[in-house]
Amino acid sequence: MNGPIASRRQLLVGLSAGAAIPVLAACGSSPAEARSFPISLSEAEWRKRLTKDEYRILREAGTERPYSSPLNSEKRSGTFVCAGCGNELYSSRTKYDSKTGWPSFWAAIDKGAVGTSTDYKIGYPRTEVHCADCGGHLGHIFSDGPKPTGQRHCINGLALDFRPA
Ligand code: FE
């Protein structure tokens, strides 16, 4: 058996090795998949939890057809949460009709609710937006939104669940 000092050293080595992984992964260009998030399920667990269409959007960064989501016309007051993990993402107070066919918001519910990365999927850089808790892909943020932020969070309805107030 090792003494207490050796055990502690082994523990420290283990911790620093573990801590290095998320830092390295965060440098990659791939958004949600490569990073570590507070809620982390295996691919099989996500497939079990989500519908096929939700999986395609949230876990494979897919895009739903415009005007296909009932949440596009949702006008009640309430909160839009992540369809993957329930994290509160957007308030009805910042929802507006962008006429794009996707639920649109000019801000997230709070600073820590969503994260962003740069996406080159269609050849030029776009700001990808994902759930900060589970990394699920939500949509993109554009700079043609209304005041006061000028942002348009263009969100797949399949990535959201609506909780009326
Ligand atoms: Fe989530």
Residues with CB under 5 A from ligand 1 (ion): 82, 84-85, 87, 131, 133-134, 136
Whose structure tokens read 């399920």?
41
Give residue 14 CA to ligand 1 midpoint distance, Å.
Answer: 28
> pTM for the complete prediction?
0.79
- Give, for 141, the enclosing helix (H) or strand (E): strand 137-142
Please confirm, yes or no, whether 82 is among the known catalytic residues.
no
| Domains located in the chain, CATH noted | 2-164 (2.170.150.20)
State the distance from the centre of ligand 1 to the C-alpha of 10, rounded, in angstroms: 34
49-97 residue pLDDT tens: 999 999 999 999 999 999 999 999 999 999 999 999 999 999 999 999 9
Cα angle: 79, vertex 107, 144; to 5 degrees? 135
- Per the listing, tokens 């801590």 go with 19
pLDDT of residue 121: 87
Token match 């996707």: residue? 102
Question: Does residue 1 carry a pLDDT above 70?
Answer: no
Q: What's residue 34's pLDDT? A: 58
- The residues near 69 (Cβ < 8 Å, ≥ 6 apart) are 102, 103, 156, 157, 158
Residue 90 token pair: 């957007």
Q: In Å, how far are 32, 83, 136, 143, 153 from 133, measured between CA atoms?
A: 10, 12, 8, 24, 18
- The pLDDT value recorded for residue 89 is 98
Among residues 82, 85, 134, 154, which one is catalytic?
Answer: 154
- How many whole angstroms from 148 Cα to the centroid of ligand 1? 26
CA of 147 to the centre of ligand 1 (A): 27
